[in-house]
Amino acid sequence: MAYLEIKLTLPSPEPWKDIFTAMLGDAGCDSFMDGEEENVLLAYIKEELYDGDLLRDTLENHGLDVTVQYTVTRVEEQDWNAVWESNYEPVLLCGQCYIRAPFHAPRTDVKYEIVIEPKMSFGTAHHETTSLMIEYILEEDFHGKSLLDMGSGTGVLSILARLRGAAPVTAIDNDRWAYENNIENNARNHTEDITVRLGDATAIGEDRFDIIFANINRNILLNDMPRYAQALRPGGSIFFSGFYQGHDLEAIREKAASFGLTFISYKEKNNWVAAKFSK
């Protein structure tokens, strides 16, 4: 599987990195990294999903008072993994959850240690949306509750929920690399009883869940809201992330309300949001 790297040189890191991350996410990019220079953003998109005209329109006709320089280069799979390993650092969240790669030293002074081989999958807890979702997970009671992790990426969210007592757990992602990576990470963390499916929201089928995670992006969340609402049992909770505070959050709240989902709370970090709803 080949990816394309889009290298953006911005006039300044803030607020442009967050803004263009969201815009490129809507254009099909699924992974982002900081460049060596603080004003450089690296975005990655599967080669078969790349649309040069869409990218050009996104980066040149955005209507913002800013001009960005960008280049597009092809990245082979083995090079991608080398980039991940050279940039990936372990993360400690809330003093409880330590997320590391297999090549990092373990820790024995934390409640939860999760080993993630990131590869090409999104969800290493470095991004604000993943860390915000983990904060929610560490606060919630999962014992004996069925759970769906939609757009699961590496599987880090479903793994942590399983370690906190959720069962049965299902993880779904439409990317084959993420699907395979998720299975591998379950084996690393002794959570092999998590069911992993390859597909989009249609893969939910007729299953129903007490808790749903959907850390994807604004457009997919809005489009798939009917399926999420249908899959959530009455009295259940659903956690959305992958969008911004302000207009994005209001759009999510309005759409959720139309399907009987009640807004409970939200968390924000660097303008990224995770929000909790109930049914």
Listed by start position, the domains of the chain span 3-84, 89-278
d(CA 185, CA 200): 20
The pLDDT value given to residue 168: 98
Q: What is the pLDDT of residue 21?
A: 86
27-42 pLDDT per residue, tens: 888 778 788 888 899 9
Other Cβ atoms less than 10 A from the Cβ of 115: the count is 19
Q: At the topology level of CATH, where does 3-84 sit?
A: Alpha-Beta Plaits (3.30.70)
What pLDDT digit, counting tens, does each position of 33-80 carry? 788 888 899 988 888 889 999 999 999 888 888 889 999 998 766 555
| The amino acid at 43 | A
In the predicted model, residues of the chain with pLDDT beneath 50 are: none
pTM of the shown model: 0.75
Secondary-structure class of domain 89-278 per CATH: alpha beta
Residue 167's Cβ-count burial label (10 Å; 0-12, 13-18, 19+) is middle
Q: For a pLDDT cut of 70, what percent of the chain falls above it?
A: 92
- What's the CA gap between 273 and 267, in Å, rounded? 6
Please give the pLDDT value at position 244.
Answer: 85
Before 15, cis peptide (omega within 30)? yes
- Would you state the pLDDT for residue 80? 55
